[in-house]
């Protein structure tokens, strides 16, 4: 080996090794601090692209979940109001049945007053069955409520509206034509109330089925998001146990590299001994 001072091959090699160790140490430190083995496209372009696509899909499901929560609330309000309306119809049936008998004028007037008051309550409850501007019971939104069901936007679900308006499809009772003024009219009112009870109960069953459908889909979306999140983690998350062990190894290697570079840098000093007496 030639002894010279112009070039120090050992020092250059030691420096290259130390730089490589420092680079690996920097990468390991970044993975530990971020928790990610793939933090950007330069780490692994293909994996990063897949992970970003999955993150975008997961974000879309966040929006879908918001829509599902809104739809569920709309359905729950409609069901609650519908159940209360059904209870009022039962009370109306009792009043109408009592008025089908021959009773004195004072009693009939009292039944009529109660009957009218209950119908007013019924109408107010149906009108108040609104959430976020949507009322499924007062025939203001006959098409129901439609919402997006998947991340592509191609699939939708719907809650069908149920008309609880007086004289409508479900509630055949009508304040304009039904009263308890005499036994015959009371019988007509009773028949209308009985038909309304049957129809309203059927409408409540349909609303309940729609609400259950929303719950099931919301649970599915939540579980799907968990799976997607886990999948993204498997692609980009760092194994911190492995990285911790690697960090210690690289730190030792770095210290050894510094010592090796120091030794290599001192080797030209040996040339001076050749010129000493």
Task: Kindly write down the DSSP assignment for every residue of 197-242, as one continuous string.
Answer: HHHHHHHHHHHHHHHHHHHHHHHHHHHHHHHHHHHHHHHHB--HHH
Q: What CA–CA distance (Å, rounded) separates 66 from 138?
A: 25
Task: Kindly write down the DSSP assignment for every residue of 104-158, as one continuous string.
Answer: -HHHHHHHHHHHHHHHHHHHHHHHH-EETTEESSSSS-TT-EEEE-STTS--EEE
Residue 226 lies in a domain: yes
What predicted TM-score, i.e. pTM, was given to this entire model? 0.75
Residue 49 lies in a domain: no
* 191 and 119 together in one domain: yes
Residue 30 sits at φ, ψ, to 5 deg, of -65, -45
Burial code of 57-80, b = ≥16 C-beta within 10 A, e = fewer? bbeebeebeebbebbbebbebbbe
* 257 and 160 together in one domain: no
Q: What CA–CA distance (Å, rounded) separates 275 from 26?
A: 44
* Number of structural domains in the chain: 2
SS3 category, 95: helix
* 153 and 264 together in one domain: no
* 200 and 255 together in one domain: no
Q: Quote the pLDDT of residue 87.
A: 97
**Model confidence over 106-123: pLDDT tens digits?**
999 999 999 999 999 999
Q: Quote the pLDDT of residue 4.
A: 52
* 90 and 189 together in one domain: yes
**Model confidence over 67-110: pLDDT tens digits?**
999 999 999 999 999 999 999 999 999 999 999 999 999 999 99
* 266 and 205 together in one domain: no
* 98 and 194 together in one domain: yes
Which range of residues forms the domain containing residue 219? 60-236
In contact, 60 and 149? CB cutoff 8 Å: no
Residue 182 sits at φ, ψ, to 5 deg, of -155, 170
In contact, 156 and 149? CB cutoff 8 Å: yes
Q: Quote the pLDDT of residue 14.
A: 77
Residues of the chain with pLDDT under 70: 1-8, 267-277
* DSSP 8-state secondary structure symbol assigned to residue 159: E
Q: What CA–CA distance (Å, rounded) separates 277 from 267?
A: 20
In contact, 180 and 99? CB cutoff 8 Å: yes
* 28 and 155 together in one domain: no
CATH number of the domain at 171, please. 1.20.1330.10
C-alpha angle 48/54/58, rounded to 5°? 140
* 141 and 205 together in one domain: yes
* 88 and 15 together in one domain: no
* 19 and 143 together in one domain: no
- Contact residues for 57 (Cβ-Cβ < 8 A; gap 6+): 151, 228
């Amino acid at each position: 080996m030639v002894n010279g001072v112009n070039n120090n091959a050992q020092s250059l090699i030691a420096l290259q090794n130390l730089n490589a160790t420092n680079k690996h140490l920097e990468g390991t430190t970044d993975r530990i601090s971020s928790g990610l083995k793939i933090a950007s496209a330069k780490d692994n372009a293909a994996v990063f692209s897949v992970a970003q696509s999955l993150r975008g899909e997961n974000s879309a499901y966040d929006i879908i979940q918001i829509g599902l929560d809104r739809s569920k609330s709309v359905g729950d309000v409609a069901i609650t109001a519908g159940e209360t309306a059904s209870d009022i119809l039962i009370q109306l049936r009792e009043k109408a049945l009592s008025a089908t008998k021959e009773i004195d004028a004072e009693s009939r007037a009292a039944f009529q007053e109660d009957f009218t008051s209950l119908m007013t309550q019924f109408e107010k409850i149906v009108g108040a069955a609104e959430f976020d501007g949507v009322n499924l019971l007062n025939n203001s939104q006959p098409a129901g409520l439609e919402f997006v069901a998947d991340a592509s936007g191609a699939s939708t679900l719907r809650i069908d509206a149920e008309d609880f308006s007086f004289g409508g499809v479900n509630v055949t009772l009508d304040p304009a034509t039904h009263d308890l003024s005499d036994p015959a009219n009371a019988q007509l009112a009773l028949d209308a109330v009985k038909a309304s009870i049957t129809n309203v109960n059927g409408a409540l069953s349909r609303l309940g089925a729609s609400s259950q459908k929303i719950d099931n889909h919301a649970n599915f979306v939540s579980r799907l998001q968990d799976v997607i999140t886990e999948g993204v983690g498997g692609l980009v998350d760092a194994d911190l146990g492995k990285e911790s062990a690697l960090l210690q190894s690289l730190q030792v290697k770095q210290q050894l590299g510094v010592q090796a570079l120091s030794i290599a840098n001192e080797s030209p000093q040996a040339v001076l001994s050749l010129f000493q007496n």
